[in-house]
Amino acid sequence: MIRKVKLNQKEIILVGTAHISQESINLVEKTIEEEKPDIIGVELDQERLQQLLSGSKWEQTNLVEIVKTGKTYLFLLNILLSNLQKQLGAKVGVKPGAEMLIAIKKAQEQKIPIQLLDRNVKITLKRAMKEMTLKEKLKLASSIIMGFFGKANTSEVIDIQKIEDLKNEDLINKLMKELGKQMPSVKKVLVDERDDYITEMIRNSPGKKIVAVVGAGHLNGIVENLKKEKKVDLKKLVLMPKKRNYLKYLKYFIPILFFSFIGFLLASKGIETTINALIIWFIANGVCSAIGAIAARAHPISVLTAFFAAPITSLHPAIAAGWITALTETRFNSPRVIDFENLSNISTIKGFYQNKVSHILIVTALTNVGSMIGTIIAVPYLIVLLA
């Protein structure tokens, strides 16, 4: 799909592509050959460009940093998204991003400057996570997981024609509208903001004639922006939104509230009731956290670690039960270089558990979820003791 726009003295040729389409590869190559542009733009940022050129993505993963900074869930989601696209590409025999690579190759062959048009992917993901509501996050995660592991879809053949249909203009408009209804925050950050960013990068690109290779889903938005001559402040689009995260205050509030409650209970109800409260807290947190570790198929010693760590870490704002359990798990199932290399090949739930990198992250995530559930369960039982 090609759209041409005149902007003052600049001629812009937009090539809308599906990211796993042989026809898109051919269209990009043909357009560059015929148009002979002064510059070639690609819907990539510097990081994704390096990933495409080097082919390595996960080998330099700092597992400890991911666990400590609480990015476990985002990293697992990133693996799911990347591998889902890879699986779809394998079905039609096209490597994801191949149309971008052919554009870069043609630029190098013809010595045409390359313009990176997209915003840094980390900024996009962070802004999306900041803007999304909890409901939207759960909906997005469940949609991706069902798409990745869903048994109901295994009988449906994903053929080349279905991939090409994704570039149909009416279908794209319908999908964009549906995304806006279902997850407005997601559409705003992943589509609308990037439309604005890509448009401004095209407008500011050097040369009088540019061929811009972009995903078909961005095509209408970019054309509309160019025709309206909508001005965009790029600085605003790369800033993290200042949104108050009340949950981060909760981790300080819980220990203060708990120890205040224990102190009040000790003064008003005596030592026996206070001990019962501590037992309830310990059992609820410990058992639920241990169940999470068991669900993650952690080593028995790691399960015991989760049981004893959760009641304490739940009261510490800077430490999580999943971190302690994950560190213990690495003593028994330490990731190897091959595990990092194979992250991009995971295609089943069994694969996530067998790969020692993703396994550690699952242990972290499920242990933390168990500890959180344990805290929620303990609260009503503790309140009863006040009666």
For the stretch 151-192, pLDDT in tens is: 444 444 455 555 555 555 554 555 556 666 777 887 888 888
pTM greater than 0.75: no
Q: Residue for token digits 């995660």? A: 141
Output the CA–CA distances (angstroms, integers) from residue 195 to 4, 26, 170, 222, in the order listed: 16, 24, 18, 5
Task: Label residue 312 by pLDDT band (50, 70, 90).
Answer: very high
Q: Cα(288)–Cα(332) distance, rounded to whole angstroms?
A: 22
In sequence order, the β-bridge partners of residue 214 are 16
How long a stretch of residues is the chain?
A: 387
Is 191 within 8 Å of 176 (Cβ atoms)?
A: yes
Is 114 within 8 Å of 104 (Cβ atoms)?
A: yes
Is 353 within 8 Å of 359 (Cβ atoms)?
A: yes
Which backbone phi and psi does 290 adopt, to 5 degrees? -65, -40
* Average of per-residue pLDDT values in the chain: 79
Residues 6+ apart with CB under 8 A from 91: 158, 159
Amino acid present at 136 = E
| C-alpha count within 13 angstroms, C-beta hemisphere, residue 373 | 13
Residues 6+ apart with CB under 8 A from 233: none
**pLDDT tens-place string over residues 55-66:** 555 445 555 566
Which of 35-49, 108-122, 132-146, 181-195 has the weakest average pLDDT? Answer: 132-146
Identify which of 89-98, 309-318, 336-345 has the greatest average pLDDT: 309-318
Looking at residue 156, what is its pLDDT?
Answer: 46
Which backbone phi and psi does 232 adopt, to 5 degrees? -125, 135
| C-alpha count within 13 angstroms, C-beta hemisphere, residue 264 | 11
Residue range 255-280: mean pLDDT, rounded:
90
